[in-house]
Amino acid sequence: MAVGAGPADGSAGAAPVAAPAIAVEARAGQRVAAPIVLTDARGKVVRLSASPQRIVSLLPSLAESVCALGACARIVGVDRYTTWPPALAQLPRLGGNLEPNVEAVLALRPDVVLVSVASRAIPRLEALGLKVIAFEPRTHADVRAVLRTLAAMLALPPEQGAEPLWARIEQGLVQAAQAVPAQARGQRVYFDASRGPVAAGESSFIGETLTRLGLVNIVPAALGPFPRLNPEYVVRADPDLLMGAQRSLGDSREPYPGWSSLRAMQSGRVCRFAGTQADLMIRPSPRLPEAAMAMARCLQRLYP
């Protein structure tokens, strides 16, 4: 399932990447950038002649990541689901993550196109001669790997690269965990990542955030990051707490058959995230701490 296109924004681990190299032009005596060689989440080696100046992003979390690394100005087009940061609002919209408008992408003359591994447009984009780097971030470690890949692609110096940014993300996650009320810790939670129900399992980036907050996910890692469940699974598990997007859980006490009997519904312990906050929850981007803090604030309301 694609992260940004589905409950998350689509992703499994990005492979390790080679750091950008600098070569010396002996004859001219000029220092020039060497080709940048990266390995994407497909295991494909992508060679760039130089750090790209015209970037198309077809996944919201990737656009957010490029911007968090200070390179927003290099993005020339985005998919229709990208909403952050606001600086990207005026850029051309190129359709969905999985099936973008390839002609519109080509017209922007990008140096590189950033996509989900689930994108059905990859073969056509590459057939047209475009450089494509595919990602599949589903865990916190994957988000960190994406940042490393993008920092290498952008040829950033270490002090402006992925590791300082990841340190800030970690600090934000710690602060969110510290904001969780003591009485909420250990509560059993179900997070509805998408209508289905599609769960955010223990091994997903959402599940890892829930664990960092001291909650116990009723969907074990063995079921995968984002499993589609029978509503009866949640009824049998009977969690103490429900979380999910407003568009998924809705306003009723029975978003799925039998759920009105859940102890979480009976007690009103439901965190519904709406609008841009709902988008924030399902995107594996550098805004992980903001999502975690939004969860913590909901827990503060439910466990005063």
pLDDT value of position 152: 97
Q: Encode pLDDT of 124-176 as tens digits.
A: 999 999 999 999 999 999 999 999 999 999 999 999 999 999 999 999 999 99
Q: Which residues contact 171 (CB under 8 A, 6 or more apart)?
A: 289
pLDDT value of position 34: 77
- Where do the CATH 3.40.50.1980 domains begin and end in the chain? 2-156, 169-302
Task: Give the residue among 103, 85, 53, 114 at the shortest CA–CA distance from 94.
Answer: 103
pLDDT value of position 16: 34
DSSP single-letter state for residue 136: -
Q: Span 2-156: which CATH code?
A: 3.40.50.1980
pTM: 0.87
Task: Give the span between the Cα atoms of 291 and 277, in whole angstroms.
Answer: 8
CB 284 within 8 A of CB 61: yes
> Mean pLDDT over residues 9-14, rounded?
39
Query: Counting Cβ atoms within 10 Å, is residue 201 exposed (0-12), middle (13-18) or buried (19+)?
Result: buried
Q: Count the helices and strands in the chain (H runs, E runs).
A: 11, 15
Q: Which helix (H) or strand (E) holds 126?
A: helix 122-127
Quote the mean pLDDT of the chain: 90
Task: Give the span between the Cα atoms of 113 and 110, in whole angstroms.
Answer: 7
pLDDT band of 12, cuts 50, 70, 90? very low
Q: Encode pLDDT of 197-213 as tens digits.
A: 999 999 999 999 999 99
- The CATH label, of 3.40.50.1980, 1.10.3720.10, 2.60.40.10, 3.40.50.300, for the domain at 169-302 is 3.40.50.1980
**pLDDT of 6 above 80:** no
